[in-house]
């Protein structure tokens, strides 16, 4: 599968939100249905806010198979369509984020998401800290990870 990257536009947000939900349901077993329902409008607001650079991984059939939210040396979100996991989209998006970074690349990972932690460790990220709650104070511990240049 050949992949290419492109910047997301507002027209992509509805597809990104659907992909986000499918990805979260496949990888975030620690979240209940109420958590996902509550997070969905917050994610939609984040897409619309324009505070992050959003990048899409697109396959040969012009399907969005993953996306990345990036800001100031930090991966703010990386989600892959469950039907396309382990096909290179995550690696491509991380490499792109690193190319945009002027220093070490950072990411926060939910501690309960062992698959994500394993992915980032395979990409040479190391844990440099931990928070007992997520950025909104919810009881979802975060691992703060960093990758050198």
DSSP readout, 9-21? -GGGHHHHHHHHH
**Beta-carbon contacts of residue 136 (< 8 Å; ≥ 6 apart):** none
Q: Which CATH number fits domain 4-147: 3.40.50.10240, 3.40.630.30, 3.30.450.90, 3.40.50.2000?
A: 3.40.630.30
The two beta strands, 53-58 and 74-80, are unpaired
Q: What DSSP state is assigned to residue 141?
A: -
Our CA dihedral for 72, 130, 48, 7, rounded to 10 degrees, sits at 50
**Beta-carbon contacts of residue 16 (< 8 Å; ≥ 6 apart):** 8, 47, 54, 56, 64, 67
Per-residue pLDDT of the chain (149 residues; tens, 9 = 90+): 799 999 999 999 999 999 999 999 998 888 889 989 989 999 999 999 989 999 999 999 999 999 999 999 999 999 999 988 888 899 999 999 999 999 999 999 999 888 899 999 999 999 999 999 888 888 889 999 999 75
CB atoms within 10 A of CB 102: 8
Against a cut of 0.75, is the pTM above it?
Answer: yes
Residue among 12, 98, 90 at smallest CA distance from 47? 12
């Amino acid at each position: 599968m050949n992949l290419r990257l492109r910047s997301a536009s507002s027209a992509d947000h509805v597809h990104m939100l659907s992909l986000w939900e499918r990805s979260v349901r496949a990888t975030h077993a620690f979240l209940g249905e109420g958590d996902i329902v509550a997070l969905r409008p917050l994610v939609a607001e984040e897409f619309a806010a324009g505070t992050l650079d959003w990048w899409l991984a697109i396959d040969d059939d012009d399907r969005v198979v993953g996306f990345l939210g990036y800001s100031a040396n930090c991966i703010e979100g990386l989600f892959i369509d469950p039907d396309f996991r382990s096909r290179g989209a995550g690696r491509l998006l991380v490499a792109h984020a690193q190319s945009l970074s002027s220093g070490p690349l950072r990411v926060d990972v939910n501690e309960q998401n062992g698959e994500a932690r394993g992915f980032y460790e395979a990409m040479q990220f190391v844990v440099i800290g931990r928070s007992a709650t997520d950025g909104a104070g919810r009881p979802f511990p975060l691992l703060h990870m960093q990758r050198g240049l």
